[in-house]
Each structure stands twice: as structure tokens, then as C-alpha cells.
Chain A
Amino acid sequence: EIVMTQSPDTLSVSPGERATLSCRASQSVSSNLAWYQQKPGQAPRLLMYGASTRATDIPARFSGSGSGTEFTLTVSSLQSEDFAVYFCQQYNNWPRTFGQGTRLEIK
């Protein structure tokens, strides 16, 4: 099983600033990496797939990069609605696996 590890567990950032979230895979997943955003009481929402392709209606302030085992999700200028939990997930191998999540909180 591929283990996905996100860092940090919690990230405190002020609105308007930049946030960088990391995700590492225990073995290569090529570019078969997705990011999800989850707000309290809601289902997760797809943000990014193919490591760097934004999903439908996702604002351009979200960007993704990386391949192989190292991935990054960047939010260029944080808005109030961006404070949430973010999960990465690999879909290169079975079983599909998620990172433990990074909580992005207001500083």
C-alpha cells in the first residue's frame, strides 16, 4: 500500500498571504495525485487532479505541482473561504490512499 504523508498537520496563515501544503508518497505515483478540500460538516470537494489540473470552478489562486513522490498545493492569496482541511490522494495504485490531511487555519 502506498502511504501518503502530508505536512504540516496544521498551517496557520493570515488572509491574503500564501499557503504551501506538501504531500509525499512512499513510492512513485507519477502524476496520479488529487487534492480535496473539506469544510466542517461537508463532503470533500475535488480541487486538483493530475497533480496540477484545477477541477471545474476552482479559482486560479489554487495551483498544484509535483510528480513522482513529492507534491505541493499552493494557495496564492488566502480568502476566508479557503480555511479548511486539505487531503491529497493517489490513484496510481490499489488501494487508493489519502494523506492524513492538513488543517489550514486563520492566523
Chain B
Amino acid sequence: QVQLVVSGGGLVKPGGSLRLSCAASVFTFTNYHMSWIRQAPGKGLEWVSYISSGGTFIYYAESVKGRFTISRDNAKNSMYLQMNSLRAEDTAVYYCALTLPYFDSWGQGTLVTVSS
């Protein structure tokens, strides 16, 4: 049973930074591609970023390109999302998901609120 635990959310001012973490309890985490998906309050789902199992292939949504950086540490069974230059429109619950390439298992999400 895959477990994904997301942490790092919180309140940040516009222009600020935040780093999200996704810790996986999967023995062979290194074999799995991973993604970040977000959901603004009361809205639908928006894919944010993807990283391949070895970290070679990385993709971003246009809305976050140049501001967000995805990374992973397979030795720690963890994935990260470094979010810089945050805007009000980045306010959302952020989920991590095991990617097969559909989103097979999801973490519980962490709320990021960008507000002054």
C-alpha cells in the first residue's frame, strides 16, 4: 500500500517562497515517476509538475514555469517542490501523486495560502 505524506504548506506573502515535501512509503520509490497537482479553493484540479523516476525528465505547467522547481531524493524516498515568487493565484491545496502515467495514488495534500 503506497502512502504519500505531504508537508510544508502554510501562509506566505506575495513574492515569497515555500518548499513542499512529499514523503513516500514505497520500497521501490526510485522506480516511480511523480507529480504535483493543485486545487484552488472550490475549484478543479490543475497539474503542476512531473519528474521521472530518475529525475531525468521534468515538466511544468506554463503557469508555474520559471518560478517552481521540482526535485527528488530517491535515497530519502522524497520529492520536493520549491515555489518562488508566489502569487495569490498559487493559493491551493497541493497534492503529490504517484504517476503511472495516470495519477495512481495521492497524498493528503497541503494548503498553500498566498496573501499579504
Residues of A within 8 A of B (CB): 32, 34, 36, 43-46, 49, 55, 87, 89, 91, 94-101
Q: List 7 A-B contacts (CB under 8 A).
A: A43-B95, A43-B109, A44-B103, A89-B45, A89-B47, A95-B59, A96-B50
Given A43-B95, A43-B109, A98-B104 contact (CB < 8 Å): no
Q: Specify which of A95, A97, A100 lies most central, judged by the most chain B CB atoms within 10 Å of its CB.
A: A95
CB pair A34 B106 closer than 8 Å? no
CA distance A94 to B61 in the complex (A): 9
CB pair B108 A98 closer than 8 Å? no
Interface residues on B, range: 20 to 34
Q: Is the interface of A mostly helix, strand, loop or mixed?
A: loop
Closest to A97 in B: B47
Q: Which residues of B contact A46 (CB under 8 A)?
A: 102-106
CB pair A43 B47 closer than 8 Å? no
Given A43-B109, A98-B46, A101-B44, A91-B101 contact (CB < 8 Å): yes
CA distance A95 to B47 in the complex (A): 8
CB pair A44 B106 closer than 8 Å? yes
